[in-house]
Structures are given as C-alpha cells and as structure tokens.
Structure 1
C-alpha cells in the first residue's frame, strides 16, 4: 500500500499545482475583465475631432475641459484631439482635405453640409451600426431628419436652434411702439417710427444676406427658393411673393431703417445691446453673449413677425458625422457619447439647445429661462433644402441680395437671373 501511494503522490501534487495555477489565472482574468481602469489597453487610438465651436467660447471650454476628459475616462485607450476652425474655414478645410485624403475621424457639421459630403462619398453610413436605432430613437425627430440623405443616415444631430426676434423695449416704447411687432406689416411700420425717433440708429440689424438670413422673410411671406421636389428655382425664388418681400426689405434699407451687413457696420449683437439696432433676429447664443458682455442689458424676445403663411424661421443646428474608414468603432463610441444625455446636458447648460429627449427633462436644462421662446419658434422652423449643391446655391442667393440691396438693380430681374443660376447648379 505504501509503495502504491508513494508512486501516486507525485502525480496528485502535479495535478493540484496545475489546478491552482488555472484558478489563479481565472481570477486574474476576471479582475482584468471587470476593469478597475488601471490596466493598460492593448492599443491606444487617437481620434481627431474637427469642430467650429468658437475659440475660447463656453462651448469649446466645456468640450475640452468636461466632455473629452469624461469620454476618455469612460473609454480607456481612446484619446480625442479636438481641432477648432471657424465655420467657413471648417467647410473649406473638409472640402480640400476630402480631395487630399487627409480627413478627420469625426467632425461637427452644419446641417446643410451633410448632403454635400455624403454625395462626395466622404461620410460613413451610421445606420449600419447595430445599435443605431436605439441611439437615434432617443433624439428629436426634426433635427434627426437633417442627417438623412435618401434612405440612410450619415450623421446624428448634435444640437438644434433657430432664431427669434430680439427687441429693445425702451427704443420701441420711445418710438411709440408698445410691443414687439407680431406681423411683417407691423414690423415695417415700426421701422419708420424708430427711424423718426432715433435718426442715427436703425430699426433692424441684419448681419448677412445669405439663406440663413433671407429665407425666414421669404417663407413667412409665402415664397420659397426651390420647388417642393427641389428640382427648380424658377417660379419660386422669383415668384411674386418673394419679389414682394425682398422689395419691401430693400425699400427699408434705402430709407436707412435696416443695416448690419455692409463692411464696417456695427456688429449686430453688440449693436443691439448698445442701441444701434432696435431689433434683430438671432439664436440662443446671443443671450449667452449678452449675459457675459452686457449683463445690464434687458433682453426681450418674441416670435419672428408673421407673414401671410405664418412665422417661419430657419431650422439651424449641427450634426456630427464620421469620416474615418479605419477607426469606425472608436468614432461611433465618440459620436454616441456626444449625443448622450450627460453630454447634452453639459452643452445645454451653456446655450446649446439639446437634441437628446432625456436631457430636455433635466432640471438644469429646464432651469434656463430663455429657452422657451426658441422652443416655441422651433415648432414652425423650416430646414434649408437638403440638396448637395446648397452651399453653392447659398452663394448665388448672397450675391443676388447684395446686388439688390447695394445697387439700383431691379429686384425681379436679379431674382430671375439667380433662379437660372441655381437651376444650372441643380443639374450638375
């Protein structure tokens, strides 16, 4: 017996040692999979994120100091390198980089750029990700639609906005206008009264003449830029309704009642606070600017003046899209994070109207007292035409309006020429 056990003992000890070793490995593996965050990932990936949050703005500060650190903490092994551009420079940079093959992994996009970059084959299709439906289902439907081209989605909404009428109560009251004009007819009447009272000021400040600025007037007056199927501008941009409202705006400009878009003009938002412009149409970012730069200015807001078809402002906002072909999973994680409730609340607290449904119920977001006028205006806000040629069309509109307002050019003649130029772009 003793001889038998003496022969078996070394074998049993060997088995016990093997089992003990396996057990310790299993425990260590479980500890690693549970993840304390201290273990180093197999590889580290850096995502480049191009955006046009204004440099040194509350938005960029929140992005760099709150959101990106939180994302990197939650996703060990993924770093995010943000690169800031101006709105115009970002658009040009993406166009140039697309040709050179030097694109970012992820970018914040104006909603009007999505069809253009989708047509160029630069944006990745996001509804190909398995959890796309779950993620997109938690976002506002209207802003989400701006990222859809054809039957697929090439982005997710990042924030939304529109413009409302800001009015200087003291200037209007002193001019004999007791409240913000509710209709375009009341608006033009108010311009004349304000000019009579404030000879060196203007009734309305308009910073530019692009679609973002002109379309609300056209839409509210029953006009449009393109047909409902987006195939022609003829009969729409040069329609009687469009000619009518542009003529009225030109007349007001000639009378010194509207200004702000010429080189050297007083900046509109600053000018509104300082008494240069009695009224302006701007977004929620203007309120944040007033609060930081003009804390003593009493901000008054109202709906955009109604025309024959109502008070129709332009739907604004940004989408977030993926350009990367080799870091798609990591990029998708970052996109999902940026539209998550936590990230949207942080941006919502500093003036970016959220698109995440849950974040809109957050106490900190609901406590922002200047959101209601914009949320009301969003109910009738309209998106610019989702065509890939829109940036070029926007340029045609700007050129036509500049000629109409700053020369003695005939309104109908210029709109006819612009409609022809736009139709040529639609055929390309």
Structure 2
C-alpha cells in the first residue's frame, strides 16, 4: 500500500485480548450447491477499480478453470475497515481463508496467532519465495517464520521536473545528498522548492535515514537508542531539516497547509523533486497530461541509495478449514499469469524473474524494479504504528524549530525502547 494512517490500536485493545483465547481451526469447510470448495478471499480493492475488475473477471475465473472443484469468493472491504474486521473476525471465529493484507499488519496478526506460517505449511514456499524481491519477502517474516508471501509491491523513487532543475543549473536529477544540497542552493530565492513531501512518518523518513547509513533499531528490534539517534540517522534527517530551514521544502512536510500538494506542485514546477510510488503515473497522466514525469533512484548518502518497501502480502488464516485449496490459489496469485494480469492495472508484481516483461507492460516500472533491489521494509514489529507515531511527532519538532534533530531522535529512541523491550 501507499503510506498508511496510524490506526487506533488502543480502541481495539479489548478485541486483541480476546484473540489470545482463540485457537485455530474449528470452522467447517464451505461448499457451494455443486459441492465445490469455496475459498473466501478478503481484500481492499476499491469498487469499480481496474484491480478489482481484473481480479474478478480474469484472475479468479482462470484459476477456477484450471482447478475444478475450487471456487474463490472475492470479498472487498474499505481499507481502514479491513484491519478492524480482521481483528473482530478472529475473536468471533469468522475469518476467511485468505487475506490480501497490508504489509504492516502481518507482524501484528502473526503475533496474535491469526495466521498460518506459510513457510511451514506450503510445500513450494521456498521455490516461490526465491522468485520474489528480497525487500517485499522480508515483510512476511515474524519470529523466524514467514506468515505470507508478497503479493504486490512498490517503493518510492525520486520524481522530478527537469525544467525546475534547469533553474538550479542542474542537467541531471540529484544522485546524492550533496546534489540535493546543491539543488537547494541553486533554487534559493526563486520561489520554487527543491523537494516536497507530506509527512515525517517512517514511510517518508526511512529512505533518508537508511541512505545516510542509519538504522531505526538494532537487528533484533530490541533497542532504538544508539541506532535511531546515531550520527548516521541524524545526518539523514538533518539534510531535510536544513533544506526546510532554507525555505526549500514546503510546509507540507509538517502537516501545515503551506504549498500545493505534490501531485499539483511537481508538474507546475513549484517543486523540483519528490519521492513517490508507481501509482503517481496514472494520476499525472489524468491530471497533467502535458507533463513528462521523470524518475531516478533515491539520492545516495554514505549508506547508498535505499528506499522503503510498500505493498501487500497474501496471508492464510490458521483457522482456514481448506488450507490445501487456499494454498493452490496463493500459488496461482504468485504465478506469471496472475502477476502480469494485475500488472496491467498498475499493481506492481513481486516476481524478480519477470525482467524486461515487466517494463513491456509498464515502461515506468523500470526505475522501481531497480530500486527494489535495495529497498527495505518498515520495522516488522507488531507495534509499528505506535513506534511510527512517536517518530513522526518528535521529528516534526525539529522541523518547527522546537528542538534539534539530535534531541528529537534522542527523545524518540527513549520512548521506543520500552515498546521494543515490552
């Protein structure tokens, strides 16, 4: 998925407590009037979207034709509602067999015992997993097991307006942190901005932290102190804060109503660069058809060019009474035919083996596919939304001048440590 809003987990705490008392199994297999096994598949494809139409009119019928005796029931929910529905259905024992889950929900659902570990249940898991990008695959792992497979993916790359770069005397998009500073200096006083983004959440900050050589926590996710507030992590955020204080990043990044949204500001030339995902191409084609959107890798710092992984995973619930049939549909969804069919709608495939076939479908996938070679998932921790909100809140204080970047990350690390320890 695109960046996600922090959900009210405290409001769902009572449900979460009830989940721990629920075991897997207990449901009877569902069959239709003809005796076919019915697999329910929950997802958040919006009504009338090309993704939903392709799933229901092409992918599912093709699977059912190739697998007589199995029917797949597509059940769409609004995105924000799907997460709550999963929690309440777990407590009530009414879960479906399969879910297209936001990647940040997988650790939470795995911890609650909702999901079956595909790495143990699925015979062909290793073979399928080996054909996916490493970053998306990492989003399925919790406590040493994989509780799903990546289904679709995306990452953020640099999008730029060459005309605005020309104002700064730059023939090429900024490839490094130093180039970003050069761009900001070149546009100073022109009224245009070097870079624009709309938040200080992990989705927004982590590419800069990682590319600077920083980390959010240690490898075991036991401690943020010494990592999130390291000199390298500070340097990644400091670049953005310095550009903001130069007047070269609009107030959008603090949540203030300053400047136009990125989808409007970039084609107008108000913004030279921004970071965003492949869904922006159809948006620009619709809203600004005369604008030639160009892309480049995430600017590199001392840690390289590293961006953040988005997307969804397909997971199987532990209570699914028809696991063999459900896993056959998972395998089909991860096959070339289904992946390429969904790619036609703008949903980026997870199969690294597609190569040039991917860019034949959508030429703009090329930059994203290359960036995915180094892209990383957000912290795969059950309490990530809470952790991310701390990061967002503390870093915004550095942008507004209430504290320094070092103090902001010190404070965030101190608040995150007890969550990791707990």
Residues 344 and 359 of structure 1 are in contact (CA less than 8 Å); yes or no, is this contact kept in structure 2? no
Residue 178 (structure 1) aligned with residue 171 (structure 2): yes
Residue 41 (structure 1) aligned with residue 34 (structure 2): yes
Look up the match of 2:112. Answer: 120
Residues 55 and 84 of structure 1 are in contact (CA less than 8 Å); yes or no, is this contact kept in structure 2? no
Q: Give the CA deviation at 1:44.
A: 5.3
Look up the match of 2:342. Answer: 347
The superposition leaves residues 135-174 of structure 1 with CA deviations (integer Å, 9 ceiling, x where unpaired) of 4454444433332323432101112222211110011112
Q: Give the CA deviation at 1:357.
A: 4.9
Distance in 1 (alpha carbons) for counterparts of 2:279 and 2:188: 27
Distance in 1 (alpha carbons) for counterparts of 2:256 and 2:277: 22
Aligned ranges 1:29-428 → 2 under 5 Å: 41-43=34-36, 45=38, 47-51=40-44, 53-75=45-67, 76-86=69-79, 88-126=80-118, 127-197=120-190, 199=191, 201-259=192-250, 260-261=252-253, 262-264=255-257, 266-323=260-317, 324-357=319-352, 359-360=354-355, 362=357, 365-428=359-422
Give 5+ residue unaligned stretches, structure 2: 1-31
| SS of aligned partner of 2:151 | strand
TM-score, normalised by the number of residues in structure 1: 0.81
| SS of aligned partner of 2:74 | strand
Q: Give the CA deviation at 1:288.
A: 2.7
| SS of aligned partner of 2:279 | helix
Distance in 2 (alpha carbons) for counterparts of 1:380 and 1:138: 16
Change (3 A) 1:57 1:175: farther
Change (3 A) 1:173 1:109: same
Give 5+ residue unaligned stretches, structure 1: 1-38
Change (3 A) 1:248 1:130: closer
Distance in 2 (alpha carbons) for counterparts of 1:284 and 1:343: 19
| SS of aligned partner of 2:223 | coil
Residues 135 and 309 of structure 2 are in contact (CA less than 8 Å); yes or no, is this contact kept in structure 1? no
Residues 349 and 368 of structure 1 are in contact (CA less than 8 Å); yes or no, is this contact kept in structure 2? yes
Q: Report the structure number with the largest CA radius of gyration.
A: 1
Change (3 A) 1:191 1:100: farther
Distance in 1 (alpha carbons) for counterparts of 2:286 and 2:127: 38
Moved more, 209-218 or 101-110: 101-110
Residues 47 and 105 of structure 1 are in contact (CA less than 8 Å); yes or no, is this contact kept in structure 2? yes
Distance in 1 (alpha carbons) for counterparts of 2:187 and 2:57: 45
Change (3 A) 1:329 1:361: farther
Q: How many residues align?
A: 385
Q: Give the CA deviation at 1:229.
A: 2.6
Residues 348 and 365 of structure 1 are in contact (CA less than 8 Å); yes or no, is this contact kept in structure 2? no
Distance in 2 (alpha carbons) for counterparts of 1:380 and 1:93: 34
Q: Give the CA deviation at 1:361.
A: 5.5
TM-score, normalised by the number of residues in structure 2: 0.82
The superposition leaves residues 215-252 of structure 1 with CA deviations (integer Å, 9 ceiling, x where unpaired) of 11111112211012321100111112222332332232
Q: What value does the CA root-mean-square deviation take over the aligned residues?
A: 2.6
Distance in 2 (alpha carbons) for counterparts of 1:55 and 1:254: 42
Change (3 A) 1:55 1:392: farther
Change (3 A) 1:141 1:253: closer
Q: Give the CA deviation at 1:72.
A: 4.0
Distance in 1 (alpha carbons) for counterparts of 2:233 and 2:129: 37
Distance in 1 (alpha carbons) for counterparts of 2:344 and 2:421: 43
Residues 135 and 374 of structure 2 are in contact (CA less than 8 Å); yes or no, is this contact kept in structure 1? no
The superposition leaves residues 163-187 of structure 1 with CA deviations (integer Å, 9 ceiling, x where unpaired) of 2111100111123222211111220
| SS of aligned partner of 2:194 | strand
Change (3 A) 1:73 1:230: same
The superposition leaves residues 97-154 of structure 1 with CA deviations (integer Å, 9 ceiling, x where unpaired) of 4445443432222323222211110111223133434544544444333323234321
